[in-house]
Amino acid sequence: MEMIAREQIYSRYIALWPDKIGVGDGAESRNGGYVLSELCRVHSEIEDQIDHATDHWGNIFTWSMFQACHEYGKSLAERGETVMEIRAVPLELIDKYVVFNLSGPDWPTERAQYWALGSNHSLQARRP
């Protein structure tokens, strides 16, 4: 796995996302969750572009980006907004999910590399 700067990770994978995603379709789900259909569709399309067997950063980042977009998009939808600008999603929120997702047992190499890049989070990741 190549060693890259955090900004390169963000730039590489944020570029896969459209500039704007509709969040006006947000709705409570039957199981108590919240569904943003357009976000789910976009995420699925992006996941299809990632080679999950070899692109470990893509695997982690696209899922983390989805989680951050979901949290941010839900807050926008609840305020009556209908569009989320992808670059308005706070990098700190994305980072929170990257750190959490790297805390699992499958990512020791990536976790060490990410912390070496200067993540502001402790090694004891808390559930976002």
H/E stretch holding 83: strand 83-85
Provide the residue ranges of all domains of the chain, joining segments of one domain with +. Answer: 6-89
The per-residue pLDDT for 24 is: 93
The 8-class DSSP code of residue 76 comes to H
Query: What is the percent of the chain where pLDDT is above 70?
Result: 88
Question: How much is the average pLDDT of 13-26?
Answer: 94
Nearest alpha carbon to residue 66 among 8, 21, 31: 21
Q: Is the pLDDT of residue 87 over 50?
A: yes
- Report pTM: 0.84
pLDDT in tens, 34-81: 999 999 999 999 999 999 899 988 999 999 999 999 999 999 999 999
Residue 34: phi and psi, rounded to 5, are -140, 130
Q: Is the pLDDT of residue 128 over 50?
A: no
Question: How much is the average pLDDT of 90-96?
Answer: 91
How many whole angstroms separate alpha carbon 127 and alpha carbon 98?
11
The per-residue pLDDT for 4 is: 60
- Please report which confidence band the pLDDT of residue 114 belongs to, taking 50, 70 and 90 as the band edges: confident
Q: Which residues pair with 35 in a beta bridge?
A: 27
- Please report which confidence band the pLDDT of residue 106 belongs to, taking 50, 70 and 90 as the band edges: confident
